[in-house]
Amino acid sequence: MQMPVPNPAVLARKLELVARLRHVLPHDAVIDAPEEVKAYECDALTAYRCAPLVAVLPSSTEEVSEVMKICHNMGVPVVPRGAGTSLAGGALPTADAVILGVARLRETLEVNFPDRYIRVQTGMTNLNVTAEVEGEGFFYAPDPSSQLACAIAGNIAMNSGGAHCLKYGVTTNNLLGVTMVMADGEIVEIGGAEMDAAGLDLLGLICGSEGQLGVVTEATLRILPKPEGARPVLMGFDSNEVAGACVADIIRAGLMPVAIEFMDRPIIRATEDFAKAGYPDCEALLIIEVEGSEDEMADQLARIVEIAKRHDPVVIRESQSAEESTRIWLGRKSAFGAMGQRGDYICLDGTIPVGQLPAVLRRIGELSEEYGHMVGNVFHAGDGNMHPLILFNANEPGQLESAEALGAEILKLCVDVGGCLTGEHGVGVEKRDLMGHQFAPVDLDVQMGVKDVFDPKWILNPSKVFPLDVSASRRAAE
Amino acid sequence: MSILAKKKTEFRDARDALAETIRSGGPFALSGNGTSRIGLCFGAELKAPTEGWDYDPSALTLTVAAGVPVAVIEQFLRDENQRLAFEPPRMQGLLDRDGASTIGGVVAGNLSGPRRVAVGACRDFCLGVEFVDGRGEVVKNGGRVMKNVTGLDLVKLMAGSNGTLGLITEVSLKTQPIPECVATLVIEGLTEVAAISAMSAALGTPFDVSGVAHLRGADDGEGAKTFIRLEGFENSVKARIAKLQSVLKSFGESDVEWHAEKNSAIWQGIRDVERFCHSADDVWRVSVKPSEAVALVEAVAPEDVIYDWGGNRLWLITKAGTDVRAKVTSGHATLVRASAETKQRLGVFAPQSQGVAKLSEGLRRKFDPDAKFNRGMMG
């Protein structure tokens, strides 16, 4: 993975840049000591690291605006950063960049239960949004696995999803409005508390734009009443094909579970060794969760179990208590940790049409053999969002590169069967160089044209999302 | 798994011919069959391809040529016991137009019916789009899978762009199973203030309300009615209706409409604004916070009002030439039906802040550098 050569003219003006930033921000909000900026050298994609020139932690939209004016004026690249939990390197700095962290933007600005929305500063964590409203029986629906730590800013930048988006949608479906600081420091309000903003859907464009179009400092989010209850059922099958067919039948029957999670044998084994959740020894495992009252859940689960039984399951375990539900989810929730015990891993998130599941898993198995890396698959089966985890040993030279090469093969496979490179983690730097496999040059050109409108000097996160050779002329025009 | 892939060749030929036409001519008016066009624009009519399907019921996804009528799609989906969950409205009655609404026109207008309050708007069900831009380039964005964050999301941008950025040639949509049962709770005689409270209370319950609307009393003496819809498996709907009645008992007695066809009639009437069809007065569509809806209605004093989406969306019918926008303090108002003169004077779409207007204008210039599409449509 390549990054552009840092701009020597920017590096040479570091002292001036720091002085100007200190002029508009409190002293401790500008971090420039080399040993301190190192804390911002990477996000959760830890394979790539580069300390930024400076990191800033503004406390208000106006401060963000002042920072952007200075950087715009001096031609300094800005890499916005939420909580640094991106798995795609979305917040990876370059040596000539200012990291703009939203960690100090944590206020709740307004909660409105009758109209069902909350307005927050975007440094607030995902889970804290729910904490603000759950006393009144509401919650914020998108639930990325990192929800304890991840910031709303990053959720909006990556259009984050989660296990329950089958029913509730992803961030873009739950976002009503934003306050955004443009590349030149101008502050714009887009959308609001009402449904369907006027004019072009700029909100839809901004959500998932990976810090390419602006810095979102405040957000109005839709909140929903909490369901009466939730209950999972666990089922084991003899083959991926059969489990896949069972998922298809459940969907066709009109059942709308809130989550359908799929785990394959390598993951089942790894999680059993690690978490001892008591999963059966089988080829494929489904965890299906329903919501509602006691009666409704029992009714839905009965229908699901009836369908599953037609597919000769090895085991069906319906949760009878909160404790059992926790145990059923335990293995799934520890899947990443379990794989982490076996070595370093890369986690991909390509999405495929659900019907392609068995064929894709078979091909991943072959590729895994070919490259000599173990691959485990956990999978949001209801929406086709895969999560292959590729194991490697970071201490052995060449292993990261071959694991990445395998990852690239798997993602290309996702595209080739009618899917896409990333379902919820974003492109960042991780999948940047594969974009040409999914998009024709004209498709990328139009997307870059959108960035031209929002950020004509290409100072916002300029070396992400678009392959460097494709964006070279635009970045050079800075 | 049945996958129907039909007439891809016809689709490509038609699309490529359109791209050629766009490269060599202009200006063009893009509006499907024009059944829900509300903006003023001029140019030669350009129609999206009408052939081409790819439907995977097990994956709940449909890819279809943009010129296919919504009614055809809905019939096709119904055969698989599925539907378009955002309830695409038919505006022919309201706007006094003929012809069949196309899916491309619905997407370009981001048109959604009553279920929008619960499940999201048309744009939330759009997974992918193909369009021809003003340079005659065929551009694809999104795809046909449910979760996709690869690159910038132009699918949302194209939805609701009213043909000002490109000619949509193909869309991929998320479909939904048709639930077994539908029932509507009807509360009569509520004041508008009480109706808003009742609707907010219903939307604040975990009972998966899928439609919430309030209509004023009619001239024939029938009282005001508040409608709250539930859908799902029959036992579940029965249980939830009972709980909802208990939550809402302070609002007075309620009836339940269980008859499937009567339910269809109620919600189709609201979806298509049937109440305002047989009049020539101006019609406005307003997006507003429910808690501010009644104050706005009192300020405007329209001849009649429909509260949909729990009060998030208002349909107002006013004397010709009334400027509703002058009374809107938050939210926004669209002038859906009026004389060309009134539309010219007041503008169809809500004016935008300087910053947003600049971005929108910049995007239009990028997508359509020679201003070939729908000139004058969105400002």
Q: Is the pLDDT of residue B311 over 70?
A: yes
Does the distance separating the beta carbons of B123 and A201 come in below 8 Å?
Answer: yes
Task: Report A:123-152 residues touching B (Cβ under 8 A).
Answer: 137-138
Q: Is the pLDDT of residue B2 over 50?
A: no
Please name which of A383, A384, A387 lies closest in space to residue A375, comparing C-alpha atoms.
A387
Please check whether residues A140 and A197 belong to one and the same domain: yes
CA dist A163 and A145 (Å) reads: 8
Partners of residue B367 in chain A, C-beta under 8 Å: 446, 449
Q: What is the ipTM of this complex?
A: 0.96
Shortest alpha-carbon distance between residue B78 and chain A (Å): 12
- Boundary of a domain, candidates A305, A335, A365: A335
What is the per-residue pLDDT for B1? 35
Q: Is the pLDDT of residue A478 over 70?
A: no
Please check whether residues A124 and A211 belong to one and the same domain: yes
**Interface residue B376 vs chain A (CB under 8 A):** no
CA dist A266 and A449 (Å) reads: 43
What is the per-residue pLDDT for B340? 94
Please name which of A164, A450, A381, A383 lies closest in space to residue B127, comparing C-alpha atoms.
A383
CA dist B51 and B67 (Å) reads: 8
- When pLDDT is averaged across residues B339-366 and rounded to a whole number, the result is 96
Question: Looking at chain B, which residue has its C-alpha nearest residue A352?
Answer: B145
Is A180 inside any structural domain?
yes
**Interface residue B378 vs chain A (CB under 8 A):** yes
Lowest pLDDT segment from A105-109, A266-270, A439-443? A266-270
Does the distance separating the beta carbons of A465 and B145 come in below 8 Å?
Answer: no
What is the per-residue pLDDT for B185? 98
What is the per-residue pLDDT for A477? 67
The structural domains of chain B, with segments of one domain joined by +, span 4-177, 181-271, 274-346
Question: Looking at chain B, which residue has its C-alpha nearest residue A357?
Answer: B59
Q: Is the pLDDT of residue B170 over 50?
A: yes
Task: Report B:262-291 residues touching A (Cβ under 8 A).
Answer: 287-291
Which residues share a beta bridge with A378?
A: A263, A387
Query: What band does A238 get if pLDDT is binned at 50, 70 and 90?
Result: very high
Lowest pLDDT segment from A201-205, A340-344, B155-159? A340-344
- When pLDDT is averaged across residues A8-17 and rounded to a whole number, the result is 98
Query: What band does B42 get if pLDDT is binned at 50, 70 and 90?
Result: confident
B133: phi then psi, degrees, rounded to nearest 5: -85, 180
| C-alpha distances out from residue A262 to A114, A361, A386, B119, B126, Å | 37, 11, 9, 25, 25
- Boundary of a domain, candidates A195, A225, A255: A225
CATH number at residue A366: 3.30.70.2740
Does the distance separating the beta carbons of B147 and A380 come in below 8 Å?
Answer: yes
Question: Looking at chain B, which residue has its C-alpha nearest residue A196?
Answer: B287
Please check whether residues A251 and A297 belong to one and the same domain: yes
Please check whether residues A144 and A247 belong to one and the same domain: no
Shortest alpha-carbon distance between residue B100 and chain A (Å): 25
Please state, rounded to an integer, the average pLDDT across all residues of chain B: 95
Please check whether residues A29 and A47 belong to one and the same domain: yes
What is the per-residue pLDDT for A98? 98
Task: Report B:41-60 residues touching A (Cβ under 8 A).
Answer: 56-60
Decide whether B181-271 matches B274-346 in CATH topology.
Answer: yes
What is the per-residue pLDDT for A165? 87
**Interface residue B339 vs chain A (CB under 8 A):** no
Does the distance separating the beta carbons of A443 and B165 come in below 8 Å?
Answer: no
- When pLDDT is averaged across residues B70-93 and rounded to a whole number, the result is 96
Higher pLDDT, A337 or B238: B238
Partners of residue B54 in chain A, C-beta under 8 Å: none
**Interface residue A424 vs chain B (CB under 8 A):** yes
Query: What band does B47 get if pLDDT is binned at 50, 70 and 90?
Result: very high
Partners of residue B332 in chain A, C-beta under 8 Å: 194, 197-198
Partners of residue B356 in chain A, C-beta under 8 Å: 188-190, 199, 202
Partners of residue A299 in chain B, C-beta under 8 Å: 233, 235-236
Please state, rounded to an integer, the average pLDDT across all residues of chain A: 95
Is A383 inside any structural domain?
yes
CA dist A365 and A254 (Å) reads: 32
What is the per-residue pLDDT for B6? 66
CATH number at residue A135: 3.30.465.10
Please check whether residues A55 and A69 belong to one and the same domain: yes
Task: Check if the beta carbon of residue A53 is closer than 8 Å to that of residue A433.
Answer: no
Is A165 inside any structural domain?
yes
**Interface residue A250 vs chain B (CB under 8 A):** no
Q: Is the pLDDT of residue A314 over 80?
A: yes
Q: Is the pLDDT of residue A373 over 80?
A: yes
Question: Looking at chain B, which residue has its C-alpha nearest residue A163?
Answer: B147
- When pLDDT is averaged across residues B286-308 and rounded to a whole number, the result is 97
Task: Check if the beta carbon of residue A133 is closer than 8 Å to that of residue A64.
Answer: no
Please name which of B252, B230, B227, B248 lies closest in space to residue B239, comparing C-alpha atoms.
B230
CA dist A151 and A84 (Å) reads: 8
Query: What band does A340 get if pLDDT is binned at 50, 70 and 90?
Result: confident
Strand, helix or coil for residue B55? strand
What is the per-residue pLDDT for B3? 44
Does the distance separating the beta carbons of A449 and B117 come in below 8 Å?
Answer: no
Does the distance separating the beta carbons of A193 and B289 come in below 8 Å?
Answer: yes
Lowest pLDDT segment from A130-144, A240-254, B154-168, B253-267? A240-254
Q: What CATH number does domain B4-177 carry, 3.30.465.10, 3.90.950.10, 3.40.50.720, 3.10.129.10?
A: 3.30.465.10
Please check whether residues A315 and A237 belong to one and the same domain: yes
- When pLDDT is averaged across residues A71-85 and rounded to a whole number, the result is 97
Provide the residue range defining the domain that includes A322: 230-335
CA dist A405 and A409 (Å) reads: 6
Partners of residue A355 in chain B, C-beta under 8 Å: 1, 3, 56, 58-59
Number of domains in chain A: 5
Q: What CATH number does domain B181-271 carry, 3.30.70.2190, 3.20.20.70, 3.40.50.620, 3.40.50.1980?
A: 3.30.70.2190
CATH number at residue A89: 3.30.43.10
Does the distance separating the beta carbons of B349 and A192 come in below 8 Å?
Answer: no
Lowest pLDDT segment from A8-12, A259-263, B50-54, B318-322? B50-54
Q: Is the pLDDT of residue B172 over 90?
A: yes
Partners of residue A385 in chain B, C-beta under 8 Å: 145-147
B352: phi then psi, degrees, rounded to nearest 5: -120, 165
CATH number at residue A237: 3.30.70.3450
Question: Looking at chain A, which residue has its C-alpha nearest residue B377?
Answer: A199
Higher pLDDT, B40 or B307: B307
- When pLDDT is averaged across residues A75-82 and rounded to a whole number, the result is 98
- When pLDDT is averaged across residues A295-303 and rounded to a whole number, the result is 93
What is the per-residue pLDDT for B40? 87
- When pLDDT is averaged across residues A323-344 and rounded to a whole number, the result is 89
Tell me the per-residue pLDDT of B89-138, one tens digit each, with 9 for 90 and over: 999 999 999 999 999 999 999 999 999 999 999 999 999 999 999 999 99
What is the per-residue pLDDT for A333? 84
Please name which of A322, A294, A316 lies closest in space to residue A304, comparing C-alpha atoms.
A316
Is A3 inside any structural domain?
no
Please check whether residues A51 and A78 belong to one and the same domain: yes
Percent of chain A scoring above 70 in pLDDT: 100
| Count of positions (residues) in chain B | 379
Q: Is the pLDDT of residue B5 over 70?
A: no
CA dist B121 and A412 (Å) reads: 31
Could you write out the DSSP letters of every residue in B91-128?
Answer: -HHHHT--SPPBHHHHHHHT---TTHHHH--GGGGEEE
Neighbours of A396 (CB within 10 A): 11
- When pLDDT is averaged across residues A45-52 and rounded to a whole number, the result is 94
Please check whether residues A375 and A281 belong to one and the same domain: no
Partners of residue B151 in chain A, C-beta under 8 Å: 427, 435, 438-439, 443-444, 447, 465
The alpha carbon dihedral of A15, A47, A40, A155 has a sign of: positive
- B150, B180, B309: residue with CB nearest A422: B150
CA dist B176 and B321 (Å) reads: 41
Pairing of strands B282-287, B332-337: antiparallel
The answer for residues whose C-beta is within 8 angstroms of residue B84's C-beta and 6 or more apart is: B70, B73, B74, B77, B125, B173, B175, B176
CATH 3.30.2420 for domain B274-346, yes or no, is no
- When pLDDT is averaged across residues A397-418 and rounded to a whole number, the result is 96
Neighbours of A472 (CB within 10 A): 12
Please check whether residues A120 and A187 belong to one and the same domain: yes
- When pLDDT is averaged across residues B161-168 and rounded to a whole number, the result is 96
- A194, A383, A449: residue with CB nearest B147: A383
- B59, B180, B288: residue with CB nearest A194: B288
Partners of residue B148 in chain A, C-beta under 8 Å: 351, 420, 422-423
Shortest alpha-carbon distance between residue B123 and chain A (Å): 9
Please check whether residues A14 and A90 belong to one and the same domain: yes
Does the distance separating the beta carbons of A225 and B204 come in below 8 Å?
Answer: yes
- When pLDDT is averaged across residues A149-157 and rounded to a whole number, the result is 97
Question: Looking at chain B, which residue has its C-alpha nearest residue A418?
Answer: B144
CA dist B206 and A397 (Å) reads: 54
Q: Say if residue B27 is preceded by a cis peptide, omega within 30 of 0.
A: yes
Tell me the per-residue pLDDT of B23-35, one tens digit each, with 9 for 90 and over: 999 899 998 999 9
**Interface residue A208 vs chain B (CB under 8 A):** yes
Query: Which of B4, B115, B152, B235 should we substitute to test contact with A (largest number of A Cβ atoms within 10 Å)?
Result: B152
- When pLDDT is averaged across residues A405-426 and rounded to a whole number, the result is 96
What is the per-residue pLDDT for B218? 81
Angle, alpha carbons B155-B156-B158 (nearest 5°): 65
Is A421 inside any structural domain?
no
Please check whether residues A322 and A393 belong to one and the same domain: no
Is A424 inside any structural domain?
no
